[in-house]
């Protein structure tokens, strides 16, 4: 049967919870079920997998990125202040030009400008940030003395601009940022099931890196398609994918031999790949307890063999993987392992070159680029 009937205990094993927890979900109608004539509860595997996908979208809220522009001698104070807030991941800069580059690259939820620094540089930064369409979701918090500056005249300021006076406490600044991060709308943060930690950093920072890459939902590019095509050829596999792991999706930047453009994150073999330093291999998914009930194994494309290697950004965050898939069990030759590793590095280089080009375009387009040589 394509959608078999399973017991409460089997459902619990698929969900990774105790039988009692699964029974409670059944009793509260969280998981659809029915009783047999003998009084035993039964569920459809599809209902269990649907619940698993919903749980994956509810468990852990990742911190939002806060970018701080402040003099170098005050940077550590701001970092410690926002690191004390679990809803924040903080990045600080003391150079106006670098702050602009970071804003364009990281696309933060909130930017804090310390106006106790050079006010003229901060005003140029503020104007550039408010005017740039890529930062339309970003709130800007001014901390310090703005003097007699008429901030209401700034373009597109509106509700995005907030002032915390110089005589207010650090707690006031924290409360302001916390309120902005909790107001929903464009700042609502994605969620992710803790299927994968990232040895090169935590999952929240990894997700920021995925967003900053600018690759998710981008058009197909021949440079990436060449890599997946080459991977399929060298490893003699019918399917090759370049994947990116978002909070709830495994999205394929490039795919060879597969029509589907994405899968739920909870189905992704690549969740395990980003936990490895080298190549992650599954020789026969049907006898591997981690994958035997996976919809990609029990259904199309009927994965049996999988081999994947990390795709990393310049900071080492693991964005996803380059992987090959076969519909029959097999082993990976050492020469093929080496080839996949090399192609993975090539894919990472392509990604980092693309990001650098975008940062340079951002920098040359900014009216505040004249601040490049001034330290703030």
Span 173-199, pLDDT tens digits: 888 888 887 654 333 333 333 333 444
Q: Residues 6 or more apart from 215 whose CB is under 8 A from it?
A: 244, 253, 319, 351, 354
For the stretch 248-289, pLDDT in tens is 889 999 999 999 999 998 899 999 999 888 999 999 999 988
35 bridge partner residues: 41
Domain 61-189 carries which CATH code?
3.40.50.2300
Neighbouring C-beta atoms of residue 352, cutoff 10 Å = 15
User: Which DSSP category does 318 fall into?
Assistant: E
Whose CA is closest to 84, among 168, 162, 173, 163?
173
Helix axes 8-15, 45-56, angle to 10 degrees: 30
**DSSP strand E in the chain: where?**
5-7, 34-35, 41-44, 60-61, 64-69, 88-93, 110-114, 139-143, 161-164, 191-192, 239-245, 249-256, 262-264, 280-282, 305-312, 318-326
Q: Are 83 and 154 in contact (CB under 8 A)?
A: no
**pTM tops 0.95:** no
Domain boundaries, the chain: 5-53, 61-189, 209-360
Distance (Å, rounded) from C-alpha 72 to C-alpha 278?
38
Intra-chain end-to-end CA distance of the chain, in Å: 67
- Residue 222: exposure state from Cβ atoms within 10 A (0-12, 13-18, ≥19): exposed
Domain 209-360: give its CATH superfamily.
GAF domain (3.30.450.40)
Please give the structure tokens belonging to residue 120: 């003229």
Domain 5-53 carries which CATH code?
1.10.1660.10
162 alpha-carbon distance from chain centroid: 27
* Averaged pLDDT in 10-residue chunks for the chain of 376 residues: 82 76 71 85 85 54 77 88 81 84 76 76 80 69 73 59 75 86 46 38 74 84 95 96 92 94 92 91 92 92 96 89 96 94 94 79 54 38
CA–CA distance from 123 to each of 71, 142, 147, 156, 306 (Å)?
15, 10, 12, 14, 53
């Amino acid at each position: 049967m394509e959608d078999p009937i399973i017991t409460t205990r089997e459902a619990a094993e698929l969900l990774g919870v105790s039988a009692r927890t699964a029974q409670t979900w059944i009793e509260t109608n969280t998981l659809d079920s029915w009783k047999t004539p003998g009084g035993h509860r039964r569920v459809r595997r599809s209902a269990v997998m649907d619940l698993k996908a919903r749980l994956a979208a509810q468990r852990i809220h990742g911190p939002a990125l806060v970018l701080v522009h402040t003099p170098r001698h005050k940077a550590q104070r701001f970092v410690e202040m926002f690191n004390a807030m679990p809803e924040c991941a903080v990045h600080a800069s003391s150079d106006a030009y670098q702050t602009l580059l970071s804003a364009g690259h990281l696309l933060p939820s909130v930017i804090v400008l310390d106006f106790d620094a050079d006010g003229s540089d901060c005003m140029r930064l503020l104007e550039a940030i408010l005017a740039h369409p890529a930062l339309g979701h970003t709130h800007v918090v001014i901390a310090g003395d703005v003097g007699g500056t008429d901030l209401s005249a700034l373009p597109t300021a509106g509700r995005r601009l907030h002032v915390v006076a110089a005589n207010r406490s650090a707690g006031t600044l924290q409360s302001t940022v916390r309120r902005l991060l909790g107001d929903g709308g464009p700042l609502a943060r994605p969620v992710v099931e803790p299927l994968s930690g990232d040895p090169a950093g935590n999952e929240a920072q990894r997700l920021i890196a995925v967003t900053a890459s600018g690759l998710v939902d981008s058009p197909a590019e021949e440079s990436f398609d060449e890599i997946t095509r080459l991977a399929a050829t060298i490893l003699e596999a019918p399917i090759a994918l370049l994947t990116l792991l978002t909070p709830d999706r495994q999205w394929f930047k490039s795919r060879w031999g597969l029509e589907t453009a994405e899968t739920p994150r909870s189905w992704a073999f690549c969740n395990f790949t980003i936990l490895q330093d080298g190549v992650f291999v599954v020789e026969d998914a049907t006898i591997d307890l981690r994958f035997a009930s996976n919809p990609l194994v029990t259904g199309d494309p009927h994965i049996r063999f999988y081999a994947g290697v990390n795709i990393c950004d310049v900071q080492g965050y693991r964005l996803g993987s380059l992987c090959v898939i076969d519909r029959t069990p097999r082993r990976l030759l050492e020469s093929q392992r080496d080839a996949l590793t090399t192609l993975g590095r090539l894919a990472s280089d392509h990604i980092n070159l693309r990001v650098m080009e975008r940062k340079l375009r951002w920098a040359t387009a900014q009216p505040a680029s004249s601040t490049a040589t001034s330290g703030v």
